[in-house]
Chains A and B, each alone.
Chain A
Amino acid sequence: MNISPGDHIRSILESASVEAADAALVLRCRSDDQSAWDQLVDRYQRLIFAIPRRAGLSEEQASDVLQDVFLTLFQKINEIDQPERVRSWIVTTAKYKTWAVIRSAKGFYSPLTEEEMELEMASLRDKRPLPDDVLIEIEEQHLIRTALSSIDERCRTILSMIYLRTPAASYLDVSKAIGVGETSISPLRSRCLQKLEKVLRR
């Protein structure tokens, strides 16, 4: 299967419903709503943690990056111009902070400001260890996880058992788990994928 980012992917990454939900959380945080901040942390912790880990940092270093990203977000929550774009802000900040750790570990000079770091990164020919397609993949996986958590429990169970288990659950096992006949699983699976895709497309 040859998977490459296309129009569909870009439309996932620009999902209006996700952006609207993000914007609502940021605005509630500005009104001192602790539960909104908790939701923002829950929503983004795995995405942020994945970025330094994919770049090869240790669990401890990745935890430091995560905490640093949330500390910066906390300090700048009132200054983010486009609250609906907070995911892009988070990914970019995590990327910069990951680069800073890598460069500092190698004894390189680490730019002090985001602008300086951006110029530095733009001039690099070799984008490893965080090329753009890896960041797109991590972001898409985040959005698919978010969408999966928002669909009904039966669909979530069906899709998780078939696609996320190793080895994948048989249709017979799935039918027992949700209490329907085995022959219903294939059409149900298709319907659930449609639901998931619809959430991503909104």
Chain B
Amino acid sequence: MKTSEEKFDHIVHRMQTDRSVDAPLSAIKYSKDLFKGKLTLARPSLLRRIAAVMNIDLASNRPAFGERSGSDDKVRQILFDAEEYAIDMRIKESENGFSLRGQVLGYGFENGSVELVSSSGSKTEKLDEFSEFDIIGLAAGEYSLVVRGSHSEIFVEKFSL
């Protein structure tokens, strides 16, 4: 059994040898923002919910590795990983605003739905038999997205148009 003095010595020793530092603010912000996606997209659901993580963000006119050249269109391509699934998303800017085309890569999302949420409201579209979607006439801003399939739903916490 330690005496009080030994206990205090131990606590003081641990305090004085504590070299830990706070994590970078960006990492803390990312971690806190994970929950905002949940609140935005929360729905009573028995589906498995999967958070998508951005894998590649290719700005327009920048060819992806293995491609011969970038497209002339102002298309931005973003790839998200979501466990065994992935979402390939293309954002195109035109005179009428932004369009968002995408495809869920993986089984179970055929004829599902996609919901796009922003601070001004939400918009839901059907996925086709190839799990593709196309949403047009979008204003610039920050959006969250959820795609729902037969067993799972994938949410993209936040991205900007």
Do the two chains bind?
yes
Nearest Cβ in chain B — how far from A64, in angstroms? 8
Closest residue on chain B to residue A137 by CB atoms:
B14
Partner of B1, one of A7, A59, A145: A7
| Interface residue tally for chain B (C-beta within 8 Å) | 37
- The answer, yes or no, to whether B7 is at the interface (CB within 8 Å) is yes
- The answer, yes or no, to whether A66 is at the interface (CB within 8 Å) is yes
Give residues of chain B (1-59) contacting chain A, Cβ–Cβ below 8 Å.
1-2, 4, 6-18, 20-24, 26-28, 30-32, 34-36, 38-39, 42, 49-51, 53
* Residues of chain A within 8 A of B21, CB atoms compared: 46, 49-50, 53
* Residues of chain A within 8 A of B23, CB atoms compared: 45-46, 48-49, 62-63, 66
A74 touches B38 (CB 8 A): yes
Known contacts A32-B38, A46-B21, A74-B51; A144/B28 CB under 8 A: no
B1 touches A144 (CB 8 A): no
A71 touches B2 (CB 8 A): no
* Residues of chain B within 8 A of A67, CB atoms compared: 27, 30-31
Q: Mark A37-76, 1 if CB is under 8 A from B, else 0.
A: 1100110011111100100000100110011001100110
Partner of B24, one of A37, A63, A194, A196: A63
- The answer, yes or no, to whether A138 is at the interface (CB within 8 Å) is yes
Q: Could you tell me the distance between the alpha carbons of A14 and B28 in the complex, rounded to whole angstroms?
A: 26
Chain A interface: which size bin? Answer: 35 or more
* Residues of chain B within 8 A of A197, CB atoms compared: 4, 7-8, 11
* Residues of chain A within 8 A of B14, CB atoms compared: 3, 137, 140-141, 144
* Residues of chain B within 8 A of A74, CB atoms compared: 34-35, 38, 51
B32 touches A193 (CB 8 A): no
Nearest Cβ in chain B — how far from A141, in angstroms? 4
Partner of A8, one of B7, B15, B22, B24: B7
Taking Cβ atoms with an 8 Å cutoff, the residues of B that contact A are: 1-2, 4, 6-18, 20-24, 26-28, 30-32, 34-36, 38-39, 42, 49-51, 53
List 21 A-B pairs, Cβ < 8 Å.
A1-B13, A3-B13, A7-B2, A8-B6, A9-B10, A38-B32, A45-B28, A46-B21, A46-B22, A48-B23, A63-B24, A63-B26, A71-B34, A74-B38, A75-B49, A75-B51, A142-B20, A163-B12, A196-B11, A197-B7, A197-B8
